[in-house]
Amino acid sequence: MSLSPTGALRHSGNLFAMALDVVRAMPRRPFQAREFIQQAWFVASVTILPTALVSIPFGAVIALQIGSLTRQLGAQSFAGAASVLAVLREASPIVTALLIAGAGGTAICADLGARKIRDEIDAMRVLGIDPVHRLVVPRVLASMVVAVLLNGLVSVVGVAGGYFFNVVLQNGTPGAYLASFTTLAQLSDLWAAEIKALVFGAISAIVASYKGLTAGGGPKGVGDAVNQSVVITFMLLFVTNFVMTAVYFQVVPQRG
């Protein structure tokens, strides 16, 4: 990876240009339905299990933290409310982002990178087929859809994990926990989280595809591309997450 400032600018520019190309190619017919379904299935299959396994301890950690915090503050009745809020608003989009970038994005990047160095991508271009339309668009859409669904999965598993740890292990009151669910959280929190997941899915797939399609220099180049794609995606996702959260608080009125 070159460290010159112009190099960094050029890469950012190319990445952004490809994002625009993807948007432009999206409505173009024929839609690659087969590729989309295959990719959606593929991304889902590499992310579902790790996501579920990550979100249980994640929900548990939040439950433990909030359980002890609410006890210290003497606000045990709000344990449920706070834990739902934390899982729904932040934990689940972040876990989704980590998994979709770490498991889905790397797989996409490695796949496209391997095709690139075997000249498959050039062969496709020569056959008159635009790889952005044929390969990248279905992957981006698949990753977006799977990210949204994963976010739902993480929310459910996280809240269930929180309930288990708070009620069963920390001797919280089940009634109070459940009753306070909706005191702070609201439906727009869920929507916001799903929109975040949608954007995260798009970003990680675009970065992974860009890095895969520009991989060069043999097998080592593919390895480097995968590595860089994860790092870049993580940085972008956390910045985007911050911006979207800030906008959300400005736009949606909060309860209480």
Q: Which residue has the tokens 């070159």?
A: 2
Q: Closest distance between other proteins and the C-beta of residue 142, in Å?
A: 16
SS3 content of the chain, % helix, strand, coil (to 5): 85, 0, 15
CA 180 to chain centre: 28
Nearer to other proteins, 174 or 217 (CB): 217
- Sorted by sequence, the CB contacts under 8 Å of residue 195 that are 6+ apart come out as 244
Token digits of residue 181: 């669910």
Q: Closest distance between other proteins and the C-beta of residue 85, in Å?
A: 44
Q: Closest distance between other proteins and the C-beta of residue 22, in Å?
A: 14
Is residue 85 a contact partner of residue 190, using CB atoms and an 8 Å limit? no
The length of the chain is 256
Positions that interact with other proteins (CB under 8 A): 114-115, 118-120, 122-130, 134
Q: Closest distance between other proteins and the C-beta of residue 110, in Å?
A: 13
Nearer to other proteins, 119 or 179 (CB): 119
Biggest CA–CA distance in the chain, Å, is 69
Label residues 222-256 b or e (16+ Cβ within 10 Å = b): bebbbebbbebbbebbeebbeebeeebeeeeeeee
Q: Closest distance between other proteins and the C-beta of residue 123, in Å?
A: 4
Nearer to other proteins, 123 or 247 (CB): 123
d(Cα 252, Cα 191) in Å, to the nearest integer? 11
d(Cα 54, Cα 51) in Å, to the nearest integer? 5
Nearer to other proteins, 71 or 125 (CB): 125
Nearer to other proteins, 30 or 253 (CB): 30
Nearer to other proteins, 177 or 210 (CB): 210
Q: Closest distance between other proteins and the C-beta of residue 16, in Å?
A: 17
